[in-house]
Amino acid sequence: MNNLVAQYITQADAQQIISTVKKVEKKTSAEIVPMIVNASFHYPLASVYAATALSLPVSIALTHYIAPLFYYSRDNMWIFIALFSLLFLLFKGTIARNIFLLRLFLNPHEVEAEVKEAATTAFYKNGLYKTADKNGVLIYISLLEKRVWILADEDAHKKIGQEFWDSCVATIIDGVKKKQFVPVLCTVIETIGNKLSPLYPCKSDDIDELKNIIIGDSQ
């Protein structure tokens, strides 16, 4: 799979995001961690379904024209199987490497489930549940699926509510689709920080408990 992260953000963009997180965390004891990944899952069935859907009609059409050249009937099964097998492998490999084609055959329900599971796993794997005040916030961005999940630890989630997080998600998704998500993400990080700072003001003994950005590969 192509490196989507490299297509969306540069090293300078990553530093801009880190600087924004650091600036925000000077005003609040909450921890905000943006995580950007190529994909949340490799979706093997998507390329299989796509290759089958494309290979079947093409194989039938080619059999109709090619079989008579070898003195077989136009519906010869063995010619069809040979063509289908060849085209299936060709299409499957092409689709697996082509982000645009792969997206066309993704199952929306599977996408939602896989991104949610990956985001939840990342939340615990990266220790966002370990903050002293239970106020860690993960902004999980999965570029292949163009999906965003924001997971706040129990105290922050309870005090702020889901409606606020949903509005932040919608804003970032719009930025991802327009390939302008770095400035949009930085704006959302500042918005979240402004929401958290009255609830969790910065303390004199505050330490930066978590990473300021996580950039990962596809799962």
User: What pLDDT, on the 0 to 100 scale, is given for residue 70?
Assistant: 81
Domain boundaries, the chain: 4-41+116-216, 44-104
Q: Measured between alpha carbons, how far is residue 172 from residues 168, 192, 199 in Å?
A: 6, 12, 23
Q: Would you give the DSSP letter of residue 191?
A: H
- Domain 4-41+116-216, architecture per CATH: Roll (3.10)
| Pairwise CA distance, residues 60 & 197, whole Å | 64
- Three-class SS state of 47: helix
User: What pLDDT, on the 0 to 100 scale, is given for residue 219?
Assistant: 53
Please report, as a single letter, which amino acid is at residue 102.
L
How much is the pTM? Answer: 0.85
Q: Supply the Cα-derived Rg of the chain in whole angstroms.
A: 23
Cβ–Cβ < 8 Å for 206, 29 = yes
* Alpha-carbon torsion, ordered 153, 120, 165, 209, to 10 deg: 40
| Pairwise CA distance, residues 36 & 20, whole Å | 15
Sign of CA dihedral 41, 47, 49, 50: positive
Q: Which two tokens stand for residue 202?
A: 């910065």
Could you please report the per-residue DSSP string of 120-179?
A: HHHHHHTTGGG-TTS-EEEEEEETTTTEEEEEE-HHHHHHH-HHHHHHHHHHHHHHHHTT
Which pLDDT tens digits describe the chain residue by residue (219 residues)?
458 888 888 999 999 999 999 999 999 999 999 999 999 998 988 889 999 999 999 999 999 999 888 888 888 999 999 999 999 999 998 888 888 888 888 999 999 999 999 999 999 999 999 888 899 999 999 999 999 999 999 999 999 989 999 999 999 999 888 878 899 999 999 999 999 999 999 887 677 778 888 887 555
User: What pLDDT, on the 0 to 100 scale, is given for residue 132?
Assistant: 85
User: What pLDDT, on the 0 to 100 scale, is given for residue 178?
Assistant: 83
Number of neighbouring beta carbons within 10 Å of residue 72:
14
